Amino acid sequence: MKNSIFAKIGCLVLYTGAIVLGILNGMWLPFIIIAALHFVEFIVIGKKTGDAAGIPAMASFVICMLFGITWWKPLREKLQRKEN
């Protein structure tokens, strides 16, 4: 995944926008959807990827909740390259 830093920034911007929307308009659904998606990502693939990279589970959880696919996909690709 190229330009990973821009994707991570974009993810944080989406979170920020969802939080602002919740605070100003009481519309918390976008924030809940983003957080739920990232939680599912952690359960399905983030923890396994973090474990394979030697990252503690709590750190993997926090990073996955903040950045989702923009964190685990580049890491998984890097680990796969090392295997080959």
Structure tokens at 6: 């821009």
19-31 pLDDT, tens digit each: 999 999 999 999 9
Percent of the chain with pLDDT over 70: 96
Is residue 68 within 8 Å of residue 11, measured between CB atoms? yes
Question: What confidence tens digit (pLDDT) does each residue in 46-71 have?
Answer: 999 999 999 999 999 999 999 999 99
Q: Give SS3 for 84.
A: coil
> What gap in Å lies between CA 70 and CA 43, rounded to an integer?
15
Crossing angle (nearest 10°) for helices 57-67 and 4-25: 70
Q: pTM for this one?
A: 0.86
